[in-house]
Structure 1
Amino acid sequence: MKEQLLKMFKRNLLVDMMYIDKNNAITKRRIKVTKITNDTFSAYCFTRHANRTFTIENILALKPVIQKERDII
């Protein structure tokens, strides 16, 4: 999972993440990764509108947010 996270960080992508929080509840978050350490990473969470620190081992799934560009006529 850490390798996927590193790829998304290097590509500066927004990420949809399924995560187990500290209360063992499963949450879905849209994040932008700002820093990665050994066991944790920091990201701006668009769900909470704040910077958060997450534990890498609590990630259930990661999916990059792909935005299609629209043509302007």
Structure 2
Amino acid sequence: MRNQLIKAMQRQWLLDIIYMAKDGKISKRRVKIIKIAGDTMQVYCFNKCAKRTFIVDNTLAIMPVSRREREVI
């Protein structure tokens, strides 16, 4: 998963991710990765309209956002 996230960051892709928070809650987020450092990644979260920090290992799934969906944002 880490290599896929690095690739997405380098290509500046928008991603839909499924993420599990520390308390076990699962959420779907639309993000753009800003940087990956150690076990964490800093992203811009379009759901919250703010920068967020996520734990890389808590990312359960990623899906690149299609070009057609990007135009809506």
On whether the aligned pair clears a TM of 0.5, the verdict is: yes
Superposed structure 1 runs of 4+ greater than 3 Å apart: none
AA partner of residue 38 (structure 1): G
Query: What's the counterpart of residue 11 of structure 1?
Result: 11
Which protein shows a greater Rg? 1
Residue 39 (str. 1) matches residue 39 (str. 2): yes
Question: Cα distance, 1:38 vs. partner?
Answer: 1.5
Q: CA deviation at 1:22?
A: 2.1
Letter in 1 for 2:8: M
Which blocks of at least 5 consecutive residues in structure 1 are unaligned? 69-73
| Partner AA of 2:65 in structure 1 | V
Identity of aligned residues (%): 44
- Root-mean-square deviation (CA), in Å? 0.7
Runs (5+) with no aligned partner, structure 2: 69-73
- CA displacement at 1:46 relative to structure 2: 0.5
Deviation track 1:16-48 (CA, whole Å, cap 9, x = no partner) reads 000001221010000000010110000000111
Code of the residue aligned with 1:59 in structure 2: it is T
Find the aligned partners of 1:65 and 1:34 in 2 and give their Cα distance.
16
Q: How many residue pairs are counted as aligned between the two chains? A: 68
Letter in 1 for 2:55: T
Match of 1:71 in 2: none
